[in-house]
Amino acid sequence: SDFSKEFLKHLQAYFPDGEFADLDASTLDTDRTFDGIYSNKVLHHLEDEALEASIKRQFEILNPDGIVCHTFWRGEDSEIYNDLFVNYHTDAGIRTLFEDRFDPLLIRFYKEFEDGDSILYIGEKKKGQPS
């Protein structure tokens, strides 16, 4: 899924048989379920409350044993950058956000522009947890 219609057009051009959805990352308003949910530098545009709601919703729409894989900008606080809200995160903050619903499989720092400026989080849906 992608909330940008331009990105969806490109995906559909490259993968004409693919199924794509125009979803808002904070609500993920869909009746479908998924084996995995992936975002690359998307969720950092959500304020804390919307991010928590998104993670809860991801848990709800993931199949058992489902996986999430997300990247975030590493840092503290938030700012408006090029007219977009950017919410920075620490590894401890990421762990806290996901810990009630997901078991971490991998948390790593990596370089997008500078060493350690980004965080990769991969987690598996916890079994038997309330949504």
98-114 average pLDDT score: 98
Distances (CA, A) of 80 to 4, 49, 65, 74, 120: 19, 17, 36, 15, 22
Contact 122, 62 (CB under 8 A): no
Domain boundaries, the chain: 33-125
Model pLDDT for residues 41-77, shown as the tens digit of each residue: 999 999 999 999 999 999 999 999 999 999 999 999 9
Query: Which DSSP string corresponds to 56-91?
Result: HHHHHHEEEEEEEEEEEEBSSSEEEETTEEEE-B-H
CATH code of 33-125, in short, is 3.40.50.150
What pTM, to 2 d.p., does this model score? 0.88
pLDDT score recorded for residue 92? 97
